[in-house]
Amino acid sequence: MQRDIVQRPGNPADRADTRPAAHTSLPGNLLAPSAARRFVRAALDEWAGLGLPAAVGFSGRVAEDAEVVVSELVTNAVVHAGTTVELVVQLEEADDDEVAALLLEVSDHHPARAVRSDRPEAGSAADAAEGTRAVGPDEPAEYGRGLQLVGTLAERWGITYRTGLKTVWARLPVDDWNPFPEAAADPGFPQRLREAELLAPSARRALRDDADWAGRGALSFLAEASDLLAGQLDEDIVAALSGQLLVPRLADWCAIWLEPENGGPSAVPRLASVWHRDETETGGLRALLEQDPIRLPERVGTGPVSMPWPGGEEEEAGEGERGDGPAVSALAYRITSGTRTLGAVLLGREGLARVPDEVTALIEDFVRRVGLAVGAAREYTRQATISRILQRALLPGKVADIPGVSSSLVYEPSDDGVVGGDFYDIFPCPGDRWCFVLGDVQGSGPEAAVVTGLARPWLRLLAREGFGVGEVLDRLNRLLLDDAMEAAEAAALMVAAAGGQQTADTGQSRFLSLLYGELVPLPDGGVRCTLASAGHPLPLLLRPDGEVRPAADPQILLGIFDDVAYESQSFELAPGDSLLCVTDGVTERRSGTLMFDDGDGLAQALAECAGLSADGIADRIKRAVHEFAERPPDDDLALLVLQAG
């Protein structure tokens, strides 16, 4: 037996289930709300891309409202139920009685039947069904106002009970219905604060009610703020977002100073962000604060510290007052990460001589999260700097031009702040030979960088000593087993001691996949190509008529066994023939459970490149790899095209 409680007329329970729908299960933790928002956004984007009639009405407002509603419902389920959360998003087409709409359903498995809200309307259906006393309009809210926000944004919403399952649903029309007709005239609701404002415990910007922060609204605010701050990798963005979260919700203005990374005791803190609830006052406040940087002593701790109001007017007027104006309060907090001081937050509130304890405690918890986010951003910046330095040293400044051969190289390191293991080289050798290399060290980070830094010069040295292709790989394999692993581990420990990030697999073997070959121009045109592939994606030979075939046989990775004898294959690259060499960032590019090279996908893409130049082939393959999935590549991408002229 199911029973529905609705807050507005109507109930979608009896609608046919032929509507487009998306479903997911979320863990009952603080990461669930952000995952729910991403899921809803992805579903809306997919339906809009399919051109469904109801999806034509999607707008930025519809998507934002849907994310807000699902975030509030999931947060409520996580905080009060703590079970796995089921999320269903359905698209309802318009009919004679209803406009097109989104139906959002959030279910939890808690045995309690009540849905905890803040202030149910007196005499509502919820009261009648549950037999509960309505909360009077003057009584304080016990919980946050998430359901008030849902009720404001949704056309209607309700609760459905089933055995072992409680579902809160909300229906959002897709047309131009606007629940905030007066919002555009509210100067206190600037557009650029919208994302941060959605985290507030109240549906609208009303008078600040500090009592709300003593309840569950504070938990929701801190959970969402943690999620937003943790996703930032730039300390200035962390500072700016922190100001958006604090103003005007907890303060009328705030300023954030950040200590220099390696400035020492004499360095001056940098004013990173200033926010004021009245944006016209921000410039003047910044100019005033820049004259007197704030630095709290270490003995202060992380709690609030009373500070003079900027401009010093309160010193003449007395404590807690600003001349003849209203009472004011200014507080400062140290920003810390571990035992390090990273900066300070100064905020002010007018109309109060003393900020309530529950608010100061909430701000202190929030500033701790700011410190963690700034510390993580700085660690990422240090690692990215180390990676850029290593990357410049690992790759050649210029590749050689091969007579009679056009070459095109594409190299795109993954943008994760950690140096990758892909490398390349083209260089001349004695005897009218030109050698080319495309390699990939297993893993990433400093250990992989050291192996890469050793392998490339070793290859050049062995090739210029006159060893054949197979012999070069034999000797490189023994060198890797003898020297590279010990050097990689030592270098990784040195980088970690210097402040970089030591990867979790330090001390493990570094396997190397390598495609190595040499080209010798032929008197009648074209070139003689000799190559070998050690655990690397096989090179593909493209004929002018579109025929594609592998140009080498697979062999074992370098750096595993010391008794391997590598063999090479030789063939002619006639004028118009093209050789494509790639790393696994191309072949293993993923879209869901599929990879780019499944079903010989790379060979099929190359066959469509017949008649193109080397640059045209490289560009076509690169675009095909990028377009294979919506998300950017998460691995280094390297490909080399050699075309005989």
List, for residues 442-478, the tens digit of each pLDDT value.
766 666 777 777 888 889 999 999 999 999 999 999 8
Quick check: helix, strand or coil at residue 205?
coil
Residue 324 has pLDDT above 70, yes or no: no
**Alpha-carbon distances, residue 477 vs 450, 463, 473 (angstroms):** 15, 14, 6
Tell me the pLDDT band of 151, cut-offs 50, 70 and 90. confident
Average the pLDDT over each of 5-9, 23-27, 415-419 and give the range with the smallest value.
Answer: 5-9
Predicted local distance difference test score (pLDDT) of residue 228: 80
Segment 529-543 mean pLDDT: 96
Predicted local distance difference test score (pLDDT) of residue 140: 36
Predicted local distance difference test score (pLDDT) of residue 611: 93
Predicted local distance difference test score (pLDDT) of residue 204: 34
Residue 393 or 331, more confident: 331
Residue 247 has pLDDT above 60, yes or no: yes
Predicted local distance difference test score (pLDDT) of residue 257: 92
Looking only at the bridges linking them, the beta strands covering 156-162 and 101-108 are: unpaired
Question: Which tokens belong to 386?
Answer: 């180390």
Average the pLDDT over each of 21-30, 277-286, 585-594 and give the range with the smallest value.
Answer: 21-30
Predicted local distance difference test score (pLDDT) of residue 15: 42
**Alpha-carbon distances, residue 74 vs 31, 153, 163, 171, 316 (angstroms):** 10, 16, 20, 15, 50
235-246 helix and 357-394 helix, angle to the nearest 10 degrees: 160
Residue 21 has pLDDT above 60, yes or no: yes
Model pLDDT for residues 90-139, shown as the tens digit of each residue? 888 776 666 778 899 999 887 665 554 443 343 333 343 333 333 343 33
Share of the chain above pLDDT 90, in %: 30
Tell me the pLDDT band of 359, cut-offs 50, 70 and 90. confident
Q: Which residues are paired to 351 by β-bridges? A: none
Predicted local distance difference test score (pLDDT) of residue 384: 73
**Alpha-carbon distances, residue 2 vs 125, 335, 601 (angstroms):** 15, 51, 51
Question: Would you tell me how many other CB atoms lie within 10 Å of the CB of residue 616?
Answer: 15
Segment 258-280 mean pLDDT: 84
Q: How crowded is the C-beta side of 255, counted as CA atoms within 13 Å? A: 27
Q: How crowded is the C-beta side of 425, counted as CA atoms within 13 Å? A: 27
The verdict on whether omega for the bond into residue 248 sits within 30 degrees of 0, i.e. cis, is: yes
Share of the chain above pLDDT 70, in %: 71
Cα-Cα end-to-end distance for the chain: 78
Segment 493-520 mean pLDDT: 64
Tell me the pLDDT band of 413, cut-offs 50, 70 and 90. confident
Looking only at the bridges linking them, the beta strands covering 554-555 and 527-534 are: parallel
Global pTM value: 0.49
Segment 373-392 mean pLDDT: 78
Give burial (CB, 10 Å; 0-12/13-18/19+) of 291.
Answer: exposed
Residue 536 has pLDDT above 70, yes or no: yes
Model pLDDT for residues 54-104, shown as the tens digit of each residue? 555 566 778 888 888 998 898 888 877 778 889 999 888 776 666 778 899
87-96, 149-158, 240-249, range with greatest mean pLDDT: 240-249
Residue 122 or 146, more confident: 146
What is the separation of C-alpha 301 from the centre of its chain, rounded to a whole number of angstroms? 32
